[in-house]
Structure 1
Amino acid sequence: MSKRLMPSMTALQCFEAAARHLSFTRAAEELHLTQSAVSKQVAQLEEMLCHHLFERIRRRLHLTPAGALYLEEVNKILNQVDISSRYILSYGGETEVLRVATQPTFGARWLIPNLMGFGRQHPNIHLDISSELEPFDLLRAKADVAFFYGQGTWPGATCLALFGEEVVPVCTPELLVGRRVRSAAALSGFVLLQCTSRPEAWHEWFQAQDLQSQNSYHGPRFDTFYMCIRAARAGCGIALVPRYLVDEELEDGKLVIAWDFRLPSSGAHFIAYPEHAAEVPKIKAFVQWVLQRVPEIKE
């Protein structure tokens, strides 16, 4: 293995400060060093990189093209060191971090509300929750626990079913004013909002009622159900979404069901974790908490 190029943190800080101020003097003042010390650190860095990072033009300091490129990389490094250090600083010695991956709308609409009280009951478990649109990399330790929608198969993982879902077409009450919806077929005359993750949704909804619509695949397309719901609330069209995701809007009248045909989805929502991690205390506690909340789903 070749020797790594590992400049010191001091050299990187001196370079970043000098590049930001375009002044060794001001960089030295900020870092509480002498101008000579800053200049020496930058010179050593240039020698290691075999490139000049600065040049003087009309007695003013400028970054070279190599220096500008290197500054972008150094900023990433220093920012990550800062984030990582604050991350550790904010937790006590007994705190365990549980990394949870979830799809955005599921996380915002179901998971987060159902986490109320978890912190009080498990004060030593800090939840680090991230939204993921792409398939999660659970087994490579990017997440300890993941929520996903599908058929419940994930190589190397234990998958526990949480609940299924039914999709319903929803829109604002105003969208239906003056327009009689006497059949499901009438919905094809509206703008049908599409969700990228469920491209066949409208086609399957019509097909389940022995209907064909030329507009099943037409309409604005959104990455998440959350965006579809927001578009429906804005009056952009009709969104076909899982019923449980719009309970709040249906209850307060911001959305209505355009035609009350509820189509059960082919998949279900699951919680997953690595097969070998079933008895890890933080994972076990979290999974038990989630499973206890599942009956609270409204039918």
Structure 2
Amino acid sequence: MRAPRRFLPSLPLLSAFEAAARTGSVTAAAHELSLTQSAVSRQIKALEEQLGVALFHRERQTIRLTLGGAAYAREVREALHKISQASLNLRANPLGGTLTLAILPTFGTRWLAPRLPRFLAAYPGVTVNLVTRLSPFDFRHEAIDAAIHFGREDWPGTSMDLLRREVVLPVCAPGLRAQYGFRAAADLRQAPLLHLTTRPDAWERWLRLHAADDLAVHGMLFDQFATLAQAAQAGLGVALIPDFLIAEELAAGTLVPALALPLHNPEAYYLCWPTERADHPPLCALRAWIVAETAADRGDDPAG
């Protein structure tokens, strides 16, 4: 159902209001929009008259958002951002077919990026925009079509395709392994243990699995697997890293297993998307491609 005209203000009115709300100043808003102060004031007044609601308290030469105006400003700012992003996407790909995908940094650089040319060759009309995310986010509040998620299949309001599971290995520099001469899981407690902030209990889980003391496990913290791997290569300690993310380092011998004692993680990598976006053509293309691309990692039978 189409909204009444009075609830669809023009973009110039909304832009003037948003700029004044964000800067707290008609003068600053006018400078940002390359307008005069009086023009911005008139636009804000016209918006208030159209809505029938006061958006600002006016006190001498200053303005202050009303309670309703503050809430409205947040919604308008988000709407203008979406319009701006849609315009940028259209300019980048006039034929349509833009997909914004949130990725985990190291998974994105080590696994996805080298394979993306194959996807783009298969679907030349699709433009993929990548944004990195270390912490959880909400599809309702961010302009993201899909995400690579590591965890369990328990993300409410989304649909998910399993991509792959992972095997985690304790790895270190060859010199560190020679220095400590590890023979059993308990021996790793003698060396510095390196930790990933998004997996704070990883070492405890590994130690418990292999019947070693898991109390008071401390060590340096890193926010990405890439920097964690670099630190381990530099000899700073032993790190728990998924083997597929460090395949090159293991092949080159710059990282070696401290012990051949893996941990098969119960969590997995998933492609996730808001259920209501399931029919978005670029997303359908990505789903078809990435599920086929990860079939071998899941142990799927390619013949069906």
Per the alignment, residue 62 of structure 1 pairs with none
CA distance in structure 2 between the aligned counterparts of 1:148 and 1:258, rounded to whole angstroms: 28
How big is the alpha-carbon RMSD for the aligned residues of Structure 1 and Structure 2?
4.2
2:279 partner letter: E
1:89 partner letter: R
User: Is the Cα–Cα contact under 8 Å of residues 158 and 273 in structure 1 kept in the other structure?
Assistant: yes
The aligned length equals 271
2:287 maps to 1:291: no
Per the alignment, residue 237 of structure 1 pairs with 237
CA distance in structure 1 between the aligned counterparts of 2:294 and 2:267, rounded to whole angstroms: 16
Per the alignment, residue 67 of structure 1 pairs with none
Per the alignment, residue 266 of structure 1 pairs with 266
Per the alignment, residue 248 of structure 1 pairs with 248
TM-score (norm: length of structure 1) = 0.71
1:203 partner letter: E
Per the alignment, residue 91 of structure 2 pairs with 89
Stretches of structure 2 that go unaligned for 5 or more consecutive residues are: 1-5, 17-26, 44-55, 59-76, 300-304
CA distance in structure 2 between the aligned counterparts of 1:10 and 1:295, rounded to whole angstroms: 48
Written as runs of structure 1 = structure 2, the 5 A alignment for 1:67-78 is none
- 2:183 alignment partner, SS class: coil
Deviations 1:275-294 (A, max 9, x none): 23333322111101001111
2:225 maps to 1:225: yes
User: Is the Cα–Cα contact under 8 Å of residues 194 and 238 in structure 2 kept in the other structure?
Assistant: yes
The Cα shift of 1:237 comes to 1.0
Per the alignment, residue 101 of structure 1 pairs with 102
Deviations 1:189-243 (A, max 9, x none): 111001111111111111111111445x300111222221122122221111111
CA distance in structure 2 between the aligned counterparts of 1:273 and 1:39, rounded to whole angstroms: 44
Deviations 1:148-194 (A, max 9, x none): 11111222211121221111111111222333112221111111001
The Cα shift of 1:118 comes to 1.2
CA distance in structure 2 between the aligned counterparts of 1:146 and 1:184, rounded to whole angstroms: 35
Question: Judging changes above 3 Å, is the alpha-carbon distance between structure 1 residues 43 and 95 closer, same or farther for their aligned structure 2 residues?
Answer: closer
- 2:99 alignment partner, SS class: strand
User: Is the Cα–Cα contact under 8 Å of residues 172 and 257 in structure 2 kept in the other structure?
Assistant: yes
Per the alignment, residue 182 of structure 1 pairs with 183
CA distance in structure 2 between the aligned counterparts of 1:203 and 1:269, rounded to whole angstroms: 21
User: Is the Cα–Cα contact under 8 Å of residues 193 and 220 in structure 2 kept in the other structure?
Assistant: yes
CA distance in structure 2 between the aligned counterparts of 1:213 and 1:177, rounded to whole angstroms: 23
CA distance in structure 1 between the aligned counterparts of 2:298 and 2:57, rounded to whole angstroms: 65
Per the alignment, residue 117 of structure 2 pairs with 116
1:182 partner letter: R
Question: Judging changes above 3 Å, is the alpha-carbon distance between structure 1 residues 82 and 158 closer, same or farther for their aligned structure 2 residues?
Answer: closer
The Cα shift of 1:90 comes to 2.8
1:100 partner letter: L
CA distance in structure 1 between the aligned counterparts of 2:84 and 2:149, rounded to whole angstroms: 32
- Identify which range, 180-189 or 131-140, moves more after superposition: 131-140
Per the alignment, residue 61 of structure 1 pairs with none
CA distance in structure 1 between the aligned counterparts of 2:278 and 2:37, rounded to whole angstroms: 55
CA distance in structure 1 between the aligned counterparts of 2:279 and 2:298, rounded to whole angstroms: 30
CA distance in structure 1 between the aligned counterparts of 2:298 and 2:192, rounded to whole angstroms: 28
CA distance in structure 2 between the aligned counterparts of 1:10 and 1:151, rounded to whole angstroms: 41
Question: Judging changes above 3 Å, is the alpha-carbon distance between structure 1 residues 87 and 188 closer, same or farther for their aligned structure 2 residues?
Answer: same
The Cα shift of 1:273 comes to 1.7
- Identify which range, 154-163 or 193-202, moves more after superposition: 154-163
CA distance in structure 2 between the aligned counterparts of 1:140 and 1:9, rounded to whole angstroms: 20
User: Is the Cα–Cα contact under 8 Å of residues 201 and 240 in structure 1 kept in the other structure?
Assistant: yes
CA distance in structure 2 between the aligned counterparts of 1:43 and 1:128, rounded to whole angstroms: 38
CA distance in structure 2 between the aligned counterparts of 1:283 and 1:192, rounded to whole angstroms: 40
- 2:181 alignment partner, SS class: coil
User: Is the Cα–Cα contact under 8 Å of residues 153 and 159 in structure 1 kept in the other structure?
Assistant: no
Which contiguous aligned blocks of 4+ residues in structure 1 show a shift greater than 6 angstroms?
A: 6-11, 38-45, 80-84
CA distance in structure 2 between the aligned counterparts of 1:212 and 1:10, rounded to whole angstroms: 60
1:281 partner letter: P
User: Is the Cα–Cα contact under 8 Å of residues 137 and 143 in structure 1 kept in the other structure?
Assistant: no
CA distance in structure 1 between the aligned counterparts of 2:129 and 2:150, rounded to whole angstroms: 20
Question: Judging changes above 3 Å, is the alpha-carbon distance between structure 1 residues 277 and 298 closer, same or farther for their aligned structure 2 residues?
Answer: closer
2:115 partner letter: N
Question: Judging changes above 3 Å, is the alpha-carbon distance between structure 1 residues 187 and 9 closer, same or farther for their aligned structure 2 residues?
Answer: same
Stretches of structure 1 that go unaligned for 5 or more consecutive residues are: 12-18, 20-26, 32-37, 52-75
User: Is the Cα–Cα contact under 8 Å of residues 163 and 298 in structure 2 kept in the other structure?
Assistant: no
The Cα shift of 1:43 comes to 11
